[in-house]
């Protein structure tokens, strides 16, 4: 602060206030900063604007670091700083102004004798204020007047008088208010005219970097993740961080203490109870204790929980007072999480047994208001499992246990369900939870119990019966039972008119899941057209996040149908659309059946991109659930077998082609395609007769099988039989290029062996043209050495260059980064490369999902990409991963 200014006449201090009590000098000095005080440059830079505006307000809750921040800033000023810490006695205007004048004198500010001093505690002469304003207004350098704890000054007269002084003193006065509440000054005018500097609680909160520095001043060095967790728990609250650090320093293991400290039994609790709770009237204290069980609340919810009617003005007042009640939006609020934790501990001590009842009231109100997730959480915390399970079933929300977006949360919530919870709703939830984890044995037991309970009630709720139908369809999918699936679908069709339409509209995931399971079972049964009808109804429906996982799954199944039909281009398009769906909605890595990734791997095998195929197969294997449904198991076995064949490991391919798939009925395509892999493996090992024998039954109605038998006949030197087979391919089977290219090459090889080189060359050219569009390399690599001279001929070279033979065109060097990635953006990218979802990354880094999305947007911009996959690929090209 500046040196004292002794020039000019001034009124002598009498050392007493208007009541005759001595002036308390401690109120006129800023507090000393402790040795562990952390200087925060970003806030000091903001405060430096205060010299350019008449009014500055530093507004935050108790312990936010307001006073020490302003004291640190004031100590650096050249201008005189008058400091006054307000007191409850300042509600009397005369007392307040007597202290303010004494603060000016203590700062060396000349106060002319003619200004005078208040003679009465209850009033102040307007002329005294005018003379003081004139004296301050005539100064060359402004006086900085800091009024600390200004929230204690509640007299409207004092606020009016202070506004008069501030207005008429002009540039000679800079007023800094340090307060927990909004002062009774016309702040809107100062804000509108740009004449106000303002720092509020959000800016006062410590960042993770500042918190780490603060902990170091206390001799504590924590891992960044531990610091971030502490900041998240305290929301960067200065006093909370300092008190935690002091307590941790006394602990034998500070790291463990800070992770596990019980907020309800700590110095933090003592501080908040004394500074916030005890300051409130008894009725408000009771309200705060009761609403501590709520994650967020509005006046109507608070009234329902507390059985009162006056919540709205109380909540608004608590927010204005910065009593750790934070405004969210509209009429919704929340408690500071640490304060809520402490209040809950206090509630349990003060009113044992009340918490479950408060939560039951909250659960009922929330469910009635349509906030089902919060209602379920409150019902579970109350231990009211009958209510919680019934709410899921009656509100038709059981499909959310499968949809990937909230499935883990719901599964974890119901993992705590008491075994004493009985009845159809509880058993349906148990069945859903077990089937979601593909635990057939336990899931079917619970489903049978639920169906028995519902059968005893002829007028059972339609929502419960429809939930049963969904679980039956899933059980049919997992067991490969087409009849069971069709029966479940028909049951659901009959029940739909009895279910309230608004529930069906609110929960489109139930219908989407049911059709997905039905389509999967139809696919298993080989009814491709019927499967497409069910799957396309979901994949082609423009749904939102609720149906994202069923759409992903349906697109994967449709991709598999295209692949089995020999159309890898179409299959790839749908499989990539499935991946985009997962990326768009941030679905967890383990969401869905993973069929889309398996299909992409199979397509890459046909294109001889074996390393990429292996990576995708490994990724799909790492994220799979055990056991899987039969379609996924068969798809995995076929893809693995084809990849092993392409790598030259026929023995391992033969083993992969013999999966033990448990299913109620056999799948014709699964049998055919595993037989194709086995036949190719035998052929690669020099056993053409065995290769042909394996496919003898299927060759009559499956073109792919007939082509593979013809290959075996050629390997045995029987080109005539091979030509006969190709000439008599099944007329009703019209496969795509992955099959027809192979058929054309077999015909060409047979004619080559028969000596018709011209026809062979013409057919190879046709095969090249058909394969080039799909980049099908494997059929040519599998054809054998006879093909190489033909491919090298000048007439065909133009059809092979750039994709089948010769080095591919070199990829251009990646453009430079727009801007360097930050450390946190690299952290997010590394986890992105592990195919973690936004939710998984947020949990791993101890940040919010919105923070992760912000880092992703910034990283995309710097990498000049627009999608996750492109970001990872670009980062690898640049050596960032």
Give the Cα separation of 840 and 853 in Å (integer). Answer: 12
CA atoms of 91 and 47, how far apart (whole Å) = 28
80-97 pLDDT tens trace: 999 999 998 878 999 999
- d(CA 178, CA 322) in angstroms, rounded, equals 12
What are the tens digits of pLDDT across the range 842-880?
777 767 777 788 788 888 877 877 777 777 777 777 777
Task: Give the predicted TM-score (pTM) of the model.
Answer: 0.71
**Predicted pLDDT at 262:** 55
Q: What is the 3-state secondary structure (H, E, C) of 194-245?
A: CCEEEECHHHHCCCHHHHHHHHHHCCCCCCHHHHHHHHHHHCCCHHHHHHHH
Altogether, the residues listed in the chain come to a count of 881
**Interatomic CA distance for residues 629 and 15, integer angstroms:** 88
- Identify the segments of the chain with pLDDT beneath 70: 1-14, 250-251, 257-267, 404-405, 458-460, 588-592, 623-627, 699-700, 805-819, 834-835, 846
- What is d(CA 709, CA 699) in angstroms, rounded to the nearest whole number? 7
Encode 368-388: b = buried (16+ Cβ within 10 Å), e = exposed. eeebbebbbbbbbbbbbbbbb
pLDDT at 524: 97
pLDDT at 595: 92
Assigned token pair, 260: 């596990």
Provide the pLDDT for residue 655: 93
Read off the DSSP letter of residue 698: G
DSSP states of 389-454: HHHHHHTT-GGGGTSSSSHHHHHHHHHT--TT--SHHHHHHHHHHHHHTT-HHHHHHHHHHHHHHH
> Are the C-beta atoms of residues 70 and 176 closer than 8 Å to each other?
yes
Question: In this structure, how many other beta carbons lie within 10 angstroms of the beta carbon of residue 285?
Answer: 18
Query: What's the Cα-to-Cα distance from 226 to each of 75, 167, 223, 229, 260, rounded to whole Å?
Result: 34, 49, 5, 5, 11
């Amino acid at each position: 602060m500046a040196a004292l200014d002794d020039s000019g006449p001034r009124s002598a201090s009498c050392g007493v206030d208007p009541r005759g009590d001595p002036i308390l000098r401690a109120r006129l000095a800023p507090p000393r900063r402790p040795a562990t005080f952390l200087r925060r440059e970003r806030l000091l830079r903001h405060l430096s604007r205060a010299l350019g505006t008449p009014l500055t307000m530093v507004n935050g809750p108790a312990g936010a670091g307001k006073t020490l921040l302003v004291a640190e800033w004031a100590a650096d000023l050249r201008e005189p700083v008058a400091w006054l810490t307000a007191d409850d006695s300042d509600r009397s205007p005369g007392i307040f102004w007597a202290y303010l004048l004494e603060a000016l004198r203590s700062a060396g500010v000349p106060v002319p004798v003619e200004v005078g001093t208040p003679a009465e505690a209850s009033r102040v002469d307007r002329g005294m204020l005018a003379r003081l304003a004139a004296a301050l207004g005539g100064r060359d350098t402004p006086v900085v007047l800091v009024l600390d704890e200004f929230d204690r000054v509640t007299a409207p007269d004092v606020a009016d008088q202070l506004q008069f002084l501030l207005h008429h003193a002009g540039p000679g006065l800079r007023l800094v208010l340090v307060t927990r509440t909004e002062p009774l000054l016309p702040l809107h005018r100062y804000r509108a005219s740009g004449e106000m500097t303002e720092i509020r609680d959000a800016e006062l909160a410590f960042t993770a970097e500042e918190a780490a520095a603060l902990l170091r001043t206390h001799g504590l060095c924590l891992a960044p993740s531990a610091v971030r967790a502490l900041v998240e728990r305290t929301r960067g609250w200065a006093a909370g961080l300092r008190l935690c650090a002091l307590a941790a320093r006394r602990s034998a293991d500070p790291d463990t203490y800070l992770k596990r400290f019980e907020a309800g039994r700590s110095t933090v609790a003592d501080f908040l109870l004394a500074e916030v709770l005890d300051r409130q009237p008894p009725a408000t204290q009771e309200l705060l204790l009761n609403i501590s069980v709520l994650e967020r609340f509005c006046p109507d919810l608070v009234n329902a929980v507390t059985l009162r009617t006056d919540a709205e003005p109380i909540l608004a007042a608590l927010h204005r007072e910065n009593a750790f009640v934070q405004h969210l939006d509209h009429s919704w609020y929340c408690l500071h999480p640490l304060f809520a934790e402490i209040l809950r501990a206090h509630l349990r001590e003060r009113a044992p047994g009340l918490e479950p009842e408060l939560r039951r009231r909250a659960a009922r109100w929330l469910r009635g208001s349509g906030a089902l997730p919060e209602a379920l959480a409150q019902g579970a915390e109350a231990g009211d499992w009958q209510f919680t399970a019934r709410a899921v079933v009656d509100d038709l929300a059981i499909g959310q246990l499968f949809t990937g977006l909230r499935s883990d949360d719901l599964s974890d919530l119901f993992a705590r369900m008491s075994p004493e919870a009985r009845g159809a709703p509880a058993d349906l939830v148990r069945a859903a939870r077990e089937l979601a984890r593909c635990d057939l044995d336990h899931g079917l037991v619970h489903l049978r119990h639920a169906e028995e309970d519902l059968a005893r009630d002829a007028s059972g709720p339609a929502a419960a019966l429809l939930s049963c139908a969904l679980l039956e369809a899933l059980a049919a999918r997992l067991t490969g039972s087409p009849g069971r699936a069709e029966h479940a679908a028909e049951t659901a069709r009959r029940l739909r008119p009895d279910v309230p339409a608004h529930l069906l509209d609110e929960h489109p995931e139930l219908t989407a899941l049911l059709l997905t399971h039905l389509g999967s079972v139809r696919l298993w049964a080989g009814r491709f057209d019927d499967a497409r009808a069910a799957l396309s109804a979901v994949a082609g429906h423009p749904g939102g996040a609720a149906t994202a996982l069923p759409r992903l799954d349906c697109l994967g199944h449709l991709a598999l149908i295209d692949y089995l039909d020999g159309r890898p281009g179409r299959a790839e398009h749908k499989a990539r659309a499935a991946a985009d769906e997962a990326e768009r909605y941030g679905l967890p890595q383990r969401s869905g059946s993973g069929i889309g990734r398996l299909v992409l791997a199979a397509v890459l095998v046909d294109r001889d991109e074996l390393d990429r195929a292996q990576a995708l197969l490994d990724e799909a294997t790492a994220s799979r659930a055990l056991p899987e449904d039969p379609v996924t198991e068969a798809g995995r076995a076929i893809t693995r077998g084809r990849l092993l064949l392409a790598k030259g490991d026929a023995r391992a391919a033969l083993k992969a082609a013999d999966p033990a798939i448990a299913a109620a009925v056999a799948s014709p395509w699964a049998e055919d395609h595993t037989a194709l892999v086995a036949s190719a493996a035998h052929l690669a090992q020099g056993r053409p007769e065995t290769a042909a024998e394996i496919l003898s039954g299927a060759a009559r109605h499956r073109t792919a099988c007939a082509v593979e038998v013809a290959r075996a006949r050629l390997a045995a030197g029987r080109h005539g039989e091979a030509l006969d087979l190709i000439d008599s391919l099944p007329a009703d089977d019209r496969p795509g290029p992955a099959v027809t290219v192979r058929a054309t090459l077999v015909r060409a090889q047979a004619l080559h062996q028969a000596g018709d080189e011209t026809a062979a060359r013409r057919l190879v050219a046709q095969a090249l043209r058909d394969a080039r569009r799909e980049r099908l390399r494997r059929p040519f690599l599998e054809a054998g050495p006879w093909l190489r001279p033909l491919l090298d001929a000048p007439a065909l070279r133009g059809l092979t260059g750039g994709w089948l033979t010769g080095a591919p065109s070199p990829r251009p060097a990646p453009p430079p980064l727009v801007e360097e990635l930050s450390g946190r953006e690299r952290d997010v990218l590394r986890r992105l490369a592990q195919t973690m979802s936004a939710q998984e990354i947020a949990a791993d880094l101890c940040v919010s999902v919105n923070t992760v999305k912000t880092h992703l947007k910034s990283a995309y911009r710097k990498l000049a990409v627009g999608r996750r996959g492109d970001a990872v690929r670009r980062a690898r090209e640049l050596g960032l991963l």
